[in-house]
Amino acid sequence: MDYARPALADALAQQYAAGTLRGGARRRYEALLPGHPLLREALQAWQLRLMPLTGVLAPQAPPARLWQGIERRLWPSAAAAPQAGWQRLALWRGVSALASVAALGLALLLVLPGPAQPPVVVVLQGTGGAARAADGFVASVSADGRALVTRPLLPVSLEADRVLELWSVPPEGAPRSLGLIAADGATVIDRRRLPARLLKGGTAALAVSVEPPGGSPTGVPTGPVIYAGKLQL
């Protein structure tokens, strides 16, 4: 079947969202979704139309053990003790694995004659988006916290009408934009945009999101966050 046919994509999406696509057809459709943007678009439109119908269902509180089960499944190694949000993030576990890559980035960035103290290097890893697990960004912050340079480990391929935006994520509260960054080379961040306390606890992590041209229209990330890295001092 030609799944690029809009009428077919729409008919399948309609039945899937309504719940009437069943059995083998349903399984085939689910298997096709990841590889077919047109099918996904059609489905998104139908879900947007139909899901508000569930708004009338009276909420049912799940038992407390359910959340505990989710925590056990997601973070099996974590102790029962509550975690401070940004202190032990699953995301950063692999950071050390990329230490050699970080060293490479550091070497590249140190070619420029710098201050006596070495810069702080942050590795921004792929957050699980499609085929981005292996690459990442390196962000180098000068020791005085007044200069920041980003560089992708490999050129990042983007849809034509999308740009990358760098965010400073504070320990609490909303991320703050540091501006747009190049997907295929180094970007020197305008120092006027850098938070005053970048290296003094003002920033817990750096993140890169995919945004429309010109950057996020809302002041917070609107597109998926595809790279993130904790600021380690």
Per CB under 8 A, residues contacting other proteins are 14, 16-20, 22-23, 26-27, 30, 44, 46-63, 66-67, 69-70, 73-75, 83-86, 89-92, 127-130, 169, 174-175, 205, 207, 209-212, 220-226, 228
The residue to which tokens 């975690």 are assigned? 83
Cβ nearer to other proteins, comparing 104 with 174:
174
Cβ nearer to other proteins, comparing 15 with 106:
15
> Smallest distance, Å, CB 21 to other proteins?
9
Extract the tokens encoding 94: 């692999």
> Smallest distance, Å, CB 103 to other proteins?
23
Tell me how far apart the alpha carbons of residues 230 and 154 are, in angstroms, rounded to a whole number.
20
> Smallest distance, Å, CB 205 to other proteins?
6
> Smallest distance, Å, CB 139 to other proteins?
15
> Smallest distance, Å, CB 176 to other proteins?
13
Cβ nearer to other proteins, comparing 13 with 109:
13
Can you name the residues that pair with 120 across neighbouring β-strands?
141
Tell me how far apart the alpha carbons of residues 231 and 215 are, in angstroms, rounded to a whole number.
23
Cβ nearer to other proteins, comparing 43 with 141:
43
Alpha helices in the chain (DSSP H): 6-18, 23-32, 37-50, 64-74, 99-109
> Smallest distance, Å, CB 9 to other proteins?
14
> Smallest distance, Å, CB 110 to other proteins?
28
CA-closest candidate to residue 178, choices 154, 213, 203: 203
Cβ neighbors of 22 (< 8 A, separation 6 or more) are none
Cβ nearer to other proteins, comparing 103 with 220:
220
Cβ nearer to other proteins, comparing 182 with 222:
222
Which residue pairs from 94-98 have beta carbons closer than 8 angstroms and sit at least 24 positions apart in sequence? Answer: 94/125, 95/123, 95/125, 95/229, 95/230, 95/232, 98/123, 98/125, 98/136
Cβ nearer to other proteins, comparing 44 with 118:
44
Task: Give the Å distances, CA to CA, from 176 to 89, 109, 164, 166, 173.
Answer: 20, 24, 14, 9, 9
